[in-house]
Chain A
Amino acid sequence: MEKNELIAKMNSVLAGEFEVEESSITPDANIKETLELDSLSLVDMIALVEEEFGVEIKGQNVGQVKTFANLYDFVFDKLNA
């Protein structure tokens, strides 16, 4: 999957699940703030990314993925590793 295609799909999936405007998802935006995630719904985002893209965000990686750009890079790199 091309990175642009991956980004578009991720934005659509995340906006749909967490019920936010897709336009609010930008590369530099903070994931937790934009999707209004608390400690419980953060778990749901991790489960959703695994379910939709087959990539697990584990351990210290959770803390490193702060912005959507971080997330796009993390998932894209894992898929192409």
Chain B
Amino acid sequence: MEKRVVITGMGIYSCLGKTLDEVRDSLYNGVSGIVLDQERKDLGFRSGLTSKLEVPDLKGQLSRGQRVFMPEPAKYAYAATADALKQAKLDQDYIDAHEIGLLYGNDSTAEPVYKSVETMFRKKNTTLIGSGGIFQSMNSTVTMNLGCIFHLKGINLTVSGACASSSHAIGLGALLIKNGLQNIVVCGGAQEVNPYAVGSFDGISAFSVRESDPTAASRPFDKDRDGLVPGGGAATVIIEEYEHAVKRGAPIIAEIVSWGFSSNGDHISSPNVAGPAKSLEYALLHAKESHGLNVNEIGYVNAHATSTHIGDMNEAKAIDQILGAHKPYVTSTKSQTGHEMWMAGASEVIYSTLMMKNDFVAANLNFNTPDPELPALNIPGERVATHFDTFLSNSFGFGGTNSTIIVRNL
């Protein structure tokens, strides 16, 4: 029999806050984490808009010998994971005595690559790059660091699926638990916020240029949207086999009901409707088969919607196509955070869970003029006080990778 998968811990380091309570309050109050960054303008960016958060100073928490291998996303991920493990009541003694897995979404680590190459050109001596360069530069840097720091001994794998990376990480973790291969998996996603990672992304005109009003720049589904705003940080979700969590006396926060996925098999940057629709359809089909969940029970959809014209449009069409006459609230928390990319799947599961636990749906900020070309969705431009027990979270990425997670309250 398929095992059930529950969330027993969450931790987040985001532009909306460094604790779950801070993030809940920011969601509730419609806070925007978007600013104009002069460094990006100095580097020739079309748009200097970005989310704002400081890199955590881990001196005093981790030794030099640990910190030297950690680039920016690994530092965010450490902060989020330490909090998530604490909430899940997984102390170091327990971790040392048990097999705990690690699946984390990450799809770039540009700053150490740039710095290593710059040193190579300048010094003509690879020793002078220092010992951290290789470990910081690899795409799996987050999982290699977290696995060593927390002494995790189960599966240890980075999931790279563009902006669906961490949603896929949660889905894969749930699959391992459902099949009895792991009891606990640390899942999540991290995203660097430095300009080097997104220079070319800016160069292909993907970003909003509404620099005169940064907090109004990310406006998913609004008629006047003009592109996304890059963001980042890290989010960690501890997922666990239900009976295991009960026996351990862990806090049981919510259940991962199902995971849907698909690939567009189409254009590298332009999304279509069929791929996302299939991801939604599979998630709902699996939820029906495993939990008897009816589509009408979905109370909230956390859309991928990044504030691009075609992306929001095609996702709206997919949601409308698959959910049909059922019209749950649909919002994009990217209106507050910008696009947290590799982190987004995990962070948006946390944002949605916080809303579910606190009986509200955060406002889809800047939804001032509904795009008349969009199908009719129930998108609130203001915060809504409402109770819901099941939500669906979409994450899509370049290359046409799609992931949908359905989560139920417990």
Contacts and interface: CB of A to CB of B under 8 A. Distances in A.
Interface of A: 17-19, 36, 38, 40-41, 43-44, 46-47, 50-51, 56
B127 A43 contact: yes
| Main SS at interface, chain B | helix
Contacts of B64: 17-19, 41
B63 A46 contact: no
Which bucket holds chain B's interface residue count? 10 to 19
Interface of B: 63-65, 68, 123, 125, 127-132
Given A41-B68, A50-B125, 17 more contacts: A18-B64, A19-B63, A19-B64, A36-B65, A40-B68, A41-B64, A41-B131, A43-B131, A44-B68, A44-B132, A46-B127, A46-B128, A47-B128, A47-B130, A50-B128, A51-B128, A56-B125
A18 B131 CA distance: 13
17 contacts: A17-B64, A19-B63, A38-B65, A40-B131, A41-B64, A41-B65, A41-B131, A43-B127, A43-B130, A43-B131, A44-B68, A46-B128, A47-B128, A47-B130, A50-B123, A56-B125, A56-B128
Nearest to B131: A40
A47 B65 contact: no
A46 B130 CA distance: 8
Contact of B130 (A19, A36, A44): A44
Contacts of A36: 65
Contacts of A47: 127-130
Contacts of A51: 128
A37 to B, nearest CB: 10
Contacts of B63: 19
